[in-house]
Structure 1
């Protein structure tokens, strides 16, 4: 699938990954319609801060993924759809699980129904490594059992299965991208890496964090965005679930020390009970097998291994320590 003037819809374009993806699609020559969450402030999320030259090329559609009429209207005339809109904060899913069903499952159903009725060429649906739960074997392949260890994870499993069912039942051209823990500029402080960086950048040297022993496979946002585009442009991805990860495992505790090294400081960690997941809900280990992405998409991470992670963390810390960016964050509060 070539990118020249192809009309695409990006849901969740106002968010962390969505804004980076939207910008990259414009740079590559796509004709982009950005679906952002309607709000009375007329905010486009992170797209408000994109370069003027890119911003003027983006068509904005403000709506709500939970509204089937609005979703179909947004999709009209689009050949390719990237579906990223979702509620993703795990702690908030303990608090308000009903909203996760409405947004993540019903919202995805709205996307699928519209895509089927309008005959889109391809739909790229966004999954998450959280659907695997704690690894039963590593590295985790796409055939690993699915385990809903949080309401968030359960809602994403439901959304993924709905997407696959539309491919199998109606031959809808669906591909599922399953990114592992993406990090980078603009990420919400509900995630561990921005939590660490913003506390250090705000002058704190005794950090308040949750569990340090779980491991994660961190994937820099540039690699994740490249994965989205590779999935969209490959005909081999239709009907497939594809991991996008670095194939490098590191504990949260070691990540703290690596960030401190990158930022030229020393820190101590204080366990904050409020930040701990319920015991059986904590995902203890994530480590991606990315062989399928390499085979089907010819994709591979540019920020892999310890040195790749360190390079990505350096770029991320540089962005967060800019006062103009840091002011968007409340480092003295726990963000759910």
Structure 2
């Protein structure tokens, strides 16, 4: 029985959507948000009043084992999303990724072991696979740390799995491919494209446009988290959540421009390029394990599904109130 769910990283892009959906489904949710002097709850500040009034907020730092354990007390399930995710910033400050992603995950699973938590869902990323050695990428694909970020997530995943194997801590690993949607940070490629075009630019600045990605709409990702949380079949497993559709960055940019009915010119911005051996050239998810174990499959699948998701994302970003929160002229590392 799911009595209370702790969502770490509840203030972030995916975490806020997940938190809202859990509340809508009637779950008792404690939202772990990053402590700051502004008393900001991140994207949860923008949630409806009925959502916010239903939440229990815990402000803390995932790097603090004492605070993490305190936040987990009284919870039966933990959905662990708190992490540093920007790849360019991991080149700049790699130690912070070890502290947050690896040690933060250790804090969660150690507390889960001590408190007897019934289920921990740990968030991985498709970046741990690196450039595809074969496609579509299943969960047995080799792991390659092509950036300090991806290396830290590989470490975090292995810490989580080691607690399952060593102590029978009930851990599941959800591995979303490139999630997109409303509220996503401008350091990600789809918001970068939309925000530049919505600001009136006809020539937009991007990094490499030849790499391919498997874009997953945030509503599908959220459904994946809830399916993993509810399924006993997921314990001890790594499960891809992806659309099983591959598209290049350049083609994605053109699709966005077509939806927005604007002419598109792309200028390569050197500072947005990853180091050559660090660029992940190809990602394409095999989602058959999620279908088999969870009964999950994407509702925004294929080219038509991507277009539908992009339309919803563009509608949100082009709202002046939302667009005003983004700095389209500034490159976010």
TM-score with structure 1 length normalisation? Answer: 0.99
Q: 2:276 aligns with which of 274, 279, 300?
A: 279
Distance 1:266 1:117 in 2: 57
Output one character per residue of 1:130-155: Cα deviation in whole Å (capped at 9) or x when no partner.
00000000000000000000000000
Structure-2 residue corresponding to 1:41: 38
Distance 1:157 1:55 in 2: 34
Distance 1:154 1:320 in 2: 31
Structure-2 residue corresponding to 1:270: 267
Structure-2 residue corresponding to 1:300: 297
Residues 231-270 of structure 1: matches in 2 within 5 Å?
231-270=228-267
Q: 1:50 aligns with which of 47, 51, 61?
A: 47
Q: Give secondary structure in 2 for the equivalent of 1:219.
A: strand
Output one character per residue of 1:28-65: Cα deviation in whole Å (capped at 9) or x when no partner.
11100000000000000000000111110000000000
Structure-1 residue corresponding to 2:95: 98
Q: Give secondary structure in 2 for the equivalent of 1:82.
A: strand
Distance 1:276 1:59 in 2: 41
Q: Give secondary structure in 1 for the equivalent of 2:122.
A: strand
Residues 1-336 of structure 1: matches in 2 within 5 Å?
6-336=3-333
Output one character per residue of 1:123-175: Cα deviation in whole Å (capped at 9) or x when no partner.
00000000000000000000000000000000000000000000000000000
Distance 2:223 2:54 in 1: 20
Q: Give secondary structure in 1 for the equivalent of 2:312.
A: helix
Query: After TM superposition, which residue ranges in structure 1, 4 or more long, deviate above 6 angstroms?
Result: none
Q: Give secondary structure in 2 for the equivalent of 1:56.
A: helix
- In structure 2, the gaps of 5 or more residues are none
1:13 Cα deviation from its structure 2 partner: 0.1
1:264 Cα deviation from its structure 2 partner: 1.2
Distance 2:207 2:224 in 1: 30
What number of residue pairs does the alignment pair up? Answer: 333
